[in-house]
């Protein structure tokens, strides 16, 4: 077989890792360092917090090492009973301790600002 030189796609899983949806997501985020993306929608806040924390803490192996990815969550704009989860490679989570947090915040006027993914 002849060798064919080619760069693997951004969703390629290296080192024999199991192919997962989250491996693809992590690969896409790595291809766009410093940018936020909506990566999931969850049915409730607890589920959104759990996923966001597993991303920023590196508990999911696709998002290792800890702190390489930032994460945040916010109520879904069209259905506030659901939550959106945001993540980015090389971005900091909104909380100073690195834990996931809602990207919405109250500024000087006391009004809640919309998140910018």
pLDDT at residue 91 greater than cutoff 80: yes
Place of tokens 């506030």: 80
Domain carrying residue 72: 21-89
In a domain, 6, yes or no: no
In a domain, 116, yes or no: no
Percentage above 70 pLDDT, the chain: 64
Is residue 108, in this structure, part of any structural domain at all? Answer: no
Q: What is the pLDDT of residue 21?
A: 85
Q: Looking at the domain assignment, is residue 77 inside a domain?
A: yes
**What is residue 28's predicted lDDT score, i.e. its pLDDT?**
93
The DSSP H or E segment spanning 52 is: helix 45-56
Of the candidates 59, 60, 56, the residue with the CA atom closest to the CA atom of residue 94: 56
- Does residue 40 belong to any structural domain of this protein? yes
Spatial distance between the Cα atoms of 85 and 48, rounded to a whole number of angstroms: 6
Q: What is the largest CA-CA distance in the chain?
A: 66
Q: Per the structure block, which two tokens stand in for 42? A: 């969850």
pLDDT at 19 (0 to 100): 56
Give the count of domains, the chain: 1
Assigned domain for 112 exists: no
> Is the model's pLDDT at 98 over the cut of 80?
no
Q: Is residue 55 part of a domain?
A: yes
Instruction: Report if residue 9 sits inside a domain.
Output: no
Contacts of 115 (CB under 8 A, 6+ apart): 72, 74, 86, 102, 103, 104
Chain position carrying tokens 């693809």: 24
pTM, full prediction = 0.67
């Amino acid at each position: 077989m002849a060798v064919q030189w080619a760069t693997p796609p951004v969703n390629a899983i290296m080192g024999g890792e199991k192919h997962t949806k989250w491996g693809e997501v992590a690969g896409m985020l790595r291809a766009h360092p410093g940018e936020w993306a909506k990566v999931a929608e969850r049915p409730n806040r607890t589920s959104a917090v759990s996923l966001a924390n597993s991303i920023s803490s590196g508990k999911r192996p696709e998002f290792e090492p800890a702190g390489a990815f930032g994460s945040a969550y916010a109520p879904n704009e069209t259905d506030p009973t659901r939550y959106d989860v945001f993540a980015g490679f090389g971005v900091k989570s909104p909380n100073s301790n690195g834990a996931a947090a809602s990207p919405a915040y109250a500024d000087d006027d006391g009004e809640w600002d919309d998140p910018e993914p």
